[in-house]
Chains A and B, each alone.
Chain A
Amino acid sequence: MAKEEMSFGEFFKAMRERRGLTLRKFCVENGLDPGNISKLERGILPPPQSREKLGEYAGFLGIIEGSDEWYEFFDLASADAGRIPPDIMSDEELVRKLPLVFRTIRGQKVSREKLKKLAEIVRRS
């Protein structure tokens, strides 16, 4: 994907991967919440609009202040600000995210009630 086609989250992820850091290691290294950063990268959370917070993230990602990537990082954050992420996943999208196979810790079959709960957990993740 060309950089100019990227969303803020995709660019964020690409920069993190360039540093050779998995999401978990990146978050441990910088004291960040991996659930939130994952949502940011997947476009479920909007980019922060505070320049201070963006600058902090850019620093964590190894983006040098004043570089082309620095400006692109801020430009994408600004562009994505107008895009309101859907706060809830559509059923069509949710179905693609549900597991076809999984095993419970004790190996028992899951009730339909729990399956509904699982679907809701996935919808919110």
Chain B
Amino acid sequence: MPRMGIGFLSYDVIWQKAEEFLSKYNAERKIPVPIEEIIEFAFHINIIPVPNLASVIEVEGFTSSNLKDIYVDEGVYSRVPTRYRFTLAHEMGHIILHRRFFERVKINSIVSWMDFYDKLENFERNALELQAYDFAGLVLVPRANLKNHVQDILSRPIPSIRAAKNLKILRSKYLPYVIEELATRLAPIYDGSLQTMTKRLNFDKLSRLIP
């Protein structure tokens, strides 16, 4: 790496990009982040629902190579709002982080598109995808908001933590349960999934706030 201009981006660099994105497009710092509105109204990108995308190709969403359209599986679009929002934020990750990559790649036929797909190494594809995943998490669940919300709700599991300590249960044993409880309480605030919330709590090492 980099072979096609796909470089390493640290989590902190992606965080900075996510913060720049939020400062510009969610200046009021609304939570849940209005990602759908940002994409349609600020970027003028079409969000196109596609029937059977997930069932036929096993893909929930993607961005067109000209960066003008985001295609989303219709089932996700209509019935799974948390996945829908994450898919949109993920695709914005590609648009913000990988614009130069998109601009550099020249495809002029369907065959050359398939050849390009085949030639892209798995580690390159994974790098692009993981960077977009991190961006999505940091946009939908901004660091500062998350820390404040955790501090606000941390008193809720304290009786359970005390009970666990009295029973001499190790912190490492009860910690996953406390994180799950926090994630469950935070998910509706951010309109996010339990999985997204758990990852964000772990990535920001917020478990250190838990006694």
Contacts and interface: CB of A to CB of B under 8 A. Distances in A.
Question: Which of under 10, 10 to 19, 20 to 34, or 35 or more describes the interface residues of B?
Answer: 35 or more
Interface centre among A24, A41, A103, A105 (most CB of B within 10 A): A103
Contacts of A108: 58
Given A17-B41, A119-B113, A95 B51 contact: no
Given A105-B60, A125-B48, A98 B40 contact: no
B86 interface: no
Nearest to B127: A101
A97 B66 contact: yes
Contacts of B48: 35, 38, 125
Given A95-B110, A97-B64, A100-B105, A110 B77 contact: no
A104 B60 CA distance: 8
Interface in B35-62: 36-37, 40-41, 46-54, 56-62
Contacts of A118: 56-57, 59
Interface string A103-124: 1111011101011111101100
Contacts of A95: 65, 107-110, 113
A125 to B, nearest CB: 5
B117 interface: yes
Contact of A17 (B40, B69, B71, B102): B40
B66 A96 contact: yes
A99 interface: yes
Contact of A114 (B37, B57, B78): B57
Interface residues of A, number: 38
B181 interface: no
B28 to A, nearest CB: 14
A105 to B, nearest CB: 5
Contact of B114 (A41, A96, A115, A122): A115
A109 B110 CA distance: 17
A121 B53 contact: yes
Contacts of A17: 40-41
B98 interface: yes
A105 B86 CA distance: 13
A10 B140 CA distance: 30
A6 to B, nearest CB: 14
Contacts of A94: 110
Contact of A42 (B46, B54, B120): B46
A87 interface: no
Nearest to A23: B47
A112 B52 CA distance: 18
B181 to A, nearest CB: 28
Nearest to B81: A24
A106 B122 CA distance: 13
Closest 5 CB pairs of A and B: A99-B62, A102-B62, A104-B58, A96-B66, A97-B64
23 contacts: A23-B46, A23-B47, A25-B36, A34-B49, A34-B78, A38-B49, A41-B46, A42-B46, A91-B110, A94-B110, A95-B110, A96-B64, A97-B65, A101-B94, A102-B59, A104-B59, A110-B59, A114-B56, A115-B113, A116-B110, A121-B53, A122-B64, A125-B71
